Structure 1
């Protein structure tokens, strides 16, 4: 009888081990499920955030090109060109307006704006506007005062023919550089150039016709 009892002890021990292992497995199952659920929720949240950022970048936060507009109103004193001998060193005043339209949801900060006036390929005037910024989805208008050099105009060979036609074909070149920055994460640099040809009436000293072309570089 003693031998039978001794043989039963290892069997009881094995049953205890099996019960412990079964209990451990049952205990790990809920933890495994919770881990899977947690990982699934985290992945879903990350996907939603990434999708939202992509949608915002493509729609609301999509950085668009600023629009540059140049309007020259008149040039005062053109009658002096009809005189047999115009005063040396005389400068004519020209008023113009440079507009910067910013279609973005953040401000467009730009450097100095340069405008050059040409007559038959010769530089006859120049103006520089200070740096600034165009607010989000707003149009910034800047008044430009340029001085046209009479000596430079008189040196152009075609001037006599244009005076007979009572129209001076000028051209202007305006260049602006700036950047748009979104939350210090998305940043884009713009270089906008605007080339215009304008026909100036000698008698009326006003702009009769204008044609402009815009170019962008980044």
Structure 2
């Protein structure tokens, strides 16, 4: 009877631990406190979640950086002086000399182009006219907004102070020639807001040299230089 009984070998210790719900890593380390499989699975799940979150954050950061340097990159707004129109002038001495004590009224046609994919909001614009270094006129325009990739046209009315013109030593010679040379300076401060988070302040400046024909009451020559300060 004893000979007929088959001897069944004992299972390895590692298999017994695994059957009981323990970690094989704990067995190999020789520790006596094995870790349950459920806890191990939980740890692996947490590691996977953390990895996914990290990858998502990195992808989002790369996307924002790429957009910031491509689509949402702040481009310089462009200001253009299309021309001046003399709307009012009183002349004496055979219509060659402006009448003292009166003003010469000009209307400047100014364009503001916004090449950005977001709107450009600007505050009060300032335009100043100089005659050989002397201020002869200044005007402030109202605030406004240039829509994305749109151009805004503005008519700026300027009154020239005749007495300041006539006080210059160059005035008589230019009146005889029929051409008055003026310099204008325009300043348009504003800001561009991207995704309602990032704001970029922009100041558009423009200096122009204007040659005005007195008798024809028109602009004969116009030369402008622009500068954008970010």
What TM-score, normalized to structure 1? 0.83
Asked if 2 retains the 8 angstrom alpha-carbon contact of 1:176 and 1:191, the reply is yes
Q: Secondary structure at the match of 1:189?
A: strand
Asked if 2 retains the 8 angstrom alpha-carbon contact of 1:82 and 1:163, the reply is no
Instruction: Answer yes or no: is 1:153 the counterpart of 2:165.
Output: yes
Alignment of 1:113-132 (within 5 A): 113-132=125-144
Q: Secondary structure at the match of 1:139?
A: strand
Compute the displacement of 1:191 (Å): 1.5
Instruction: Select which of 43, 49, 66 maps to 2:54.
Output: 43
Alignment of 1:179-198 (within 5 A): 179-198=191-210
Alignment of 1:135-214 (within 5 A): 135-214=147-226
Hey, what does 1:134 align to over in structure 2?
A: 146
Which structure has more RCO (C-alpha within 8 Å, separation ≥ 6)? 1
Instruction: Select which of 59, 81, 88 maps to 1:70.
Output: 81
Asked if 2 retains the 8 angstrom alpha-carbon contact of 1:116 and 1:125, the reply is yes
Structure with the larger helix share: 1
Hey, what does 1:105 align to over in structure 2?
A: 117
Compared with structure 1, are the counterparts of its residues 193 and 157 closer, same or farther at alpha carbon in structure 2 (3 Å cutoff)? Answer: same
Hey, what does 1:23 align to over in structure 2?
A: 21
What TM-score, normalized to structure 2? 0.79
CA distance in 1, matches of 2:160, 2:136: 6
Unaligned runs of 5+ in 1: 1-11
CA distance in 2, matches of 1:72, 1:20: 89
Unaligned runs of 5+ in 2: 1-9, 25-36
CA distance in 2, matches of 1:81, 1:144: 27
Compared with structure 1, are the counterparts of its residues 21 and 101 closer, same or farther at alpha carbon in structure 2 (3 Å cutoff)? Answer: same
Instruction: Answer yes or no: is 1:217 the counterpart of 2:215.
Output: no
Asked if 2 retains the 8 angstrom alpha-carbon contact of 1:79 and 1:202, the reply is no
Asked if 2 retains the 8 angstrom alpha-carbon contact of 1:66 and 1:102, the reply is yes
Asked if 1 retains the 8 angstrom alpha-carbon contact of 2:77 and 2:228, the reply is no
